[in-house]
Each structure stands twice: as C-alpha cells, then as structure tokens.
Amino acid sequence: MTTLLLIRHGESEANRDGFFAGQTDVELLSKGIEQAEKTGEYIAENYKIDKVYASDLKRAYKTGEIIAALSNAEIFPEKGLREIYAGKWQQKKFEELVEEYKEGYSVWLNDIGCCTTPDGESVKELSGRVLKALTKIANDNEGKTIAIATHATPIRAVQCLIEYSDLDRMKDVPWVSNASVTELAYSEGRWELVKAGRDEHLSSLKTTFPANV
C-alpha cells in the first residue's frame, strides 16, 4: 500500500486579498509559511516521508519545500498538481465574479463539479489531470509514504472522486483549510480516503475560504 498525504498550500496573497488565483503564481504570506511549518512538524512527528511532490506554483512549492526540509526528504515539482486554470476568472476578486459572471460563477458556488471556467479548464478536466498525476506518483513509489503539496480544488475534486466515483456530489464536499492534511491510501489501482482535511495541529493559525468561493 502507498500512502499519499495531500497538503493544501499555506495562506497566500490571493487568500488574503480575496481574488481567484487559479494558476496565477502568487507568493505565500508569512502566516502561510508558519502554517506550512506547523504542518511539516505534524507530518514529521506522525509519518516517515520518503519523498515530497509539489505543484510548481510558488505557493504550493514553497509549502512542499518546508515540509520536505522538516522530514529530510527530497522534493520534486509536478505541473499536473497545479490549481485549476480559470481563464478569465483569474485575478478577479470574488465579489467581482459574483457580479460579472453571475450564471457561470453560480455553477461554481452551487454545483462545482459541473463548472467550466471561461476560457479555462473545467473541473472535470482538472480532476482528470490531477488524478493522473497522483496515480503516476503512487505507482512510481509503491509501498512508500509521499507528501503532496497542492491546492484546494485538486484536493476537493480528488476526494469527491474517491468517495463518490464521479463529480456530481462535489458540491457536498467541503473545501479544506490552508496547510491541512488529507490522507489517501493506494493499492493495486484502488484509492481509499483515510482522513480528510486534518487541521487540528494548526489551532489558531487555521484559515479557510470565505463563503463566496
């Protein structure tokens, strides 16, 4: 069995400023670095990490670097772990999306599994891309424990696919908090969700999306 720990990146500039980052390459905030350190300590205390893979976007890769350092593990960039490419929505404030893209953004808010971003990826395309990357990582590291630094939508989509087999119920799967840990088990082509969105170790450092995401 292979264990994959999916870690959402720490708090970023986009999280603080309330805009849709997508694949915009924003930095971690100092609080995000502190969150990543707390999560890195939690992981080092509870798991023996063999490798770390991370989205190549700065906010996730920096999170992965911190986790890797605390577990004395090597880190590898993986473009397939990136956040959704959101086209015209990228860098837009969430309140602007509610006004300018009422119909499309309403689908994002209320039936996210069926959403396609304007001039960007659909959530279905995202889920296929991310699951392909995770499956390759799992197959390449059979029997090992791997930390994966990635983003909120990839984690939500993959969790939904594992729990419900499709994306129809993704609207019922909550967003995970920054620097939370979601544990997956993989064996002989089958995925199992072990723990979702563990963030107790963050205590007062915990941060989440606002209601308009």
Q: Select which of 9, 11, 37, 183 is catalytic.
A: 9
What is 2-197's CATH topology?
Rossmann fold (3.40.50)
pTM equals: 0.97
pLDDT band, residue 158 (cuts 50/70/90): very high
Encoding tokens for residue 145? 């424990």
DSSP letter at 57?
Answer: S
Q: Where are the alpha helices (DSSP H) in the chain?
A: 13-17, 30-46, 58-70, 94-100, 102-110, 123-140, 152-164
Active-site residue, 34 included: no
Q: Burial code of 60-73, b = ≥16 C-beta within 10 A, e = fewer?
A: bbbbbbbbbebbeb
Catalytic residue among 11, 78, 83, 121: 83
Is 83 marked active-site? yes
Summarize pLDDT for 36-81 with one digit per residue, the tens. Answer: 999 999 999 999 999 999 999 999 999 999 999 999 999 999 999 9
